[in-house]
């Protein structure tokens, strides 16, 4: 006997409302009225005889059962979408959407992508760049590359590497000056801060026991790429992070201000995706390739004795 399935329109309305946390936003996405969304969800609740949302004045919130039901419905729609694309476009590349930071994309991943495409021509990689971590409840990306901690439930984290952070600048800054000896001497220069990652400077300063330098006193940027590019112009000192500055250091465009004071970053790098995508072949293939590329990168592979002073 065929199992009972709730009406598809009701499930679509529920999935959209749960993802947005709003009946209005769900209505806008599905091009229907708010009352239609409310009616469809009420019909679903009556059909399965459970309450899925707490209705508030200006918002809605999933009930405990709603939170359990949402990932099940979301995964079902994901499989329907993937299956439909497979049937309708059997000769088209399988699209894999990855979110990552713009600096990591520009300075590390994109130069290596031709290798992936040559090895896996049936998978087309689509990159979404953002300075902020992906919200898998709201986004439809397949996976992301992020630096942080394993905190979210329902996500799979594959460890990639650990970074070191260290001040860098153009050699132009020291053409008529002696090398710096103490971190407190950074006060003599303009410092550059990447404000979405503002904790990085504080981590370095705290680890090297420097308490008299304000990393927010100078220029502010929204990405490491912008700060590094500005440092190359000789405008001040920025914090470098692997793997962002390896080429600039080897070419002499940048130099380490304190070569013996590299510090381990407070967070690790991960490849992250929803647990239900663990068996998805395109995600598995990209994950394996990414880990191989990292293992082959001499700047990331070696283990170091980090400065704990």
- Write down the residue that tokens 């400065």 correspond to: 307
State residue 229's pLDDT score. 94
State residue 306's pLDDT score. 40
State residue 309's pLDDT score. 35
Task: Give the span between the Cα atoms of 194 and 224, in whole angstroms.
Answer: 6
User: pTM for this one?
Assistant: 0.69
Which 3 state secondary structure label does DSSP give 146? strand
Cβ atoms of 269 and 152 within 8 Å: the answer is: no
Q: SS3 for 27-64, per residue?
A: HHHHCCCHHHHHHHHHHHHHHHCCCCEEECCCCEEECH
ω into residue 243 within 30 of 0, thus cis? Answer: yes
State residue 2's pLDDT score. 61
296 Cβ neighbours under 8 A, 6+ residues apart:
none
Domain-wise residue ranges, the chain: 8-88, 94-309
Task: Tell me the two tokens of residue 37.
Answer: 């969304």
State residue 249's pLDDT score. 92
- Per residue in 163-186, pLDDT (tens digit) is 999 999 999 988 877 788 899 999
Kindly report the CATH number that applies to the domain delimited by 94-309: 3.40.190.290
Which 3 state secondary structure label does DSSP give 71? helix
Cβ atoms of 37 and 13 within 8 Å: the answer is: yes
CATH classification for the domain delimited by 8-88, as one of 1.10.1840.10, 2.60.120.380, 1.10.10.10, 3.30.40.230:
1.10.10.10
Spans in the chain with pLDDT lower than 50: 302-309
Q: Say if residue 132 is exposed, middle or buried (CB neighbours under 10 Å; 0-12, 13-18, 19+).
A: exposed
């Amino acid at each position: 006997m065929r199992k009972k399935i709730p009406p598809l329109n009701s499930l679509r309305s529920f999935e959209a409302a749960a993802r947005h946390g709003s009946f209005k936003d769900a209505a806008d996405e599905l091009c229907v009225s708010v009352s239609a969304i409310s009616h469809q969800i009420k019909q679903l609740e009556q059909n399965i005889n459970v309450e899925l949302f707490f209705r508030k004045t200006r918002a809605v919130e999933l009930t405990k059962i709603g939170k359990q039901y949402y990932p099940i419905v979301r995964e079902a729609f994901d499989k329907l979408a993937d299956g439909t694309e497979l049937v309708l476009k059997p000769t088209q590349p399988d699209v894999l959407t990855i979110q990552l930071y713009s600096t990591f994309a520009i300075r590390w991943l994109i130069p290596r992508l031709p290798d992936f495409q040559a090895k896996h021509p049936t998978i087309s990689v689509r990159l979404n760049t953002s300075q902020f971590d992906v919200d898998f409840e709201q986004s439809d990306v397949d996976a992301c590359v992020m630096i942080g901690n394993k905190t979210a439930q329902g996500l799979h984290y594959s460890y990639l590497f650990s970074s070191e952070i260290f001040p860098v600048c153009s050699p132009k800054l020291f053409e008529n000056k002696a090398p710096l000896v103490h971190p407190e001497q950074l006060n003599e220069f303009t410092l550059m801060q990447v404000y979405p990652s503002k904790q990085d400077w504080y981590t370095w300063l705290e680890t090297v026991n420097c308490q008299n330098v304000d990393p927010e006193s100078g220029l502010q940027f929204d990405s490491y790429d912008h700060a590094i590019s500005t440092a190359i112009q000789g405008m001040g000192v920025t914090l470098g992070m692997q793997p962002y500055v390896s080429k600039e250091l080897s070419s002499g465009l940048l130099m380490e201000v304190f070569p013996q004071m590299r510090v381990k970053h407070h967070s690790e790098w991960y490849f992250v995706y929803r647990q239900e995508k663990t068996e998805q072949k395109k995600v598995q293939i990209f994950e394996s390739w990414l880990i191989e590329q990292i293992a082959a990168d001499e700047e990331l592979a070696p283990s170091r004795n980090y400065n704990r002073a």
